Amino acid sequence: MNSYLKLSAVAVTAAIAALTLRRRVPELAILAVIAGCCICGGLLLEIVSPILTFAKQLYEKTGLSSELLSPLMKSAGIGIVTQISASICLDAGESALAKLAELGGMLLCLYVSLPLLTAVLQLIGRLAGTS
């Protein structure tokens, strides 16, 4: 709860700082937003860390290989970074850069899922071969 209250306080403070600076020095306004995002991101990851640990423990109980969990975890991390960077680009008025950041995130998620997709293809091949 404390981390979340800190996160809210930092987010509101950064928004007010950005509003104050926007008309005077617009470049610093977006830097204030980036700084707020970095601090809030750190606090958010502190909050999410026990949830991730529990998810890993739950996954271990299924008895599946940990290589199968890795693309899921990596995709979650890529999603978070993509959301933050695309939103910052949109706040700065650069929608083209935001779209490219989102596209990069999508392609990277696909890339980290390739081992999983390869395993699925091999399984289908084995099943098709035996049936």
Q: How far is the CB of 2 from other proteins (least distance, A)?
A: 13
Buried b / exposed e over 36-62, threshold 16 CB at 10 Å, is bbebbeebbeeeeeeeeeeeeeeeeee
What are the φ and ψ backbone dihedral angles of 76, each rounded to 5 degrees? Answer: -65, -45
Q: Where are the alpha helices (DSSP H) in 25-94?
A: 26-62, 66-91
Nearer to other proteins, 54 or 121 (CB): 54
Position 81 contacts other proteins (CB under 8 A) = yes
Position 105 contacts other proteins (CB under 8 A) = no
Instruction: Give the list of residues 6+ apart from residue 117 with CB closer than 8 angstroms, or none.
Output: none
Lay out the site mask for other proteins across 16-55 (x = CB under 8 A, - = otherwise).
-x--xx--xx-xxx-xx-xxxxxx-xxx-x--xx--x---
Coil, strand, or helix at residue 131? coil
Q: How far is the CB of 126 from other proteins (least distance, A)?
A: 28
Nearer to other proteins, 17 or 90 (CB): 17
Nearer to other proteins, 35 or 100 (CB): 35
CA-based max dimension of the chain? 71
Positions that interact with other proteins (CB under 8 A): 6, 9-10, 13-14, 17, 20-21, 24-25, 27-29, 31-32, 34-39, 41-43, 45, 48-49, 52, 70, 73-74, 76-77, 80-81
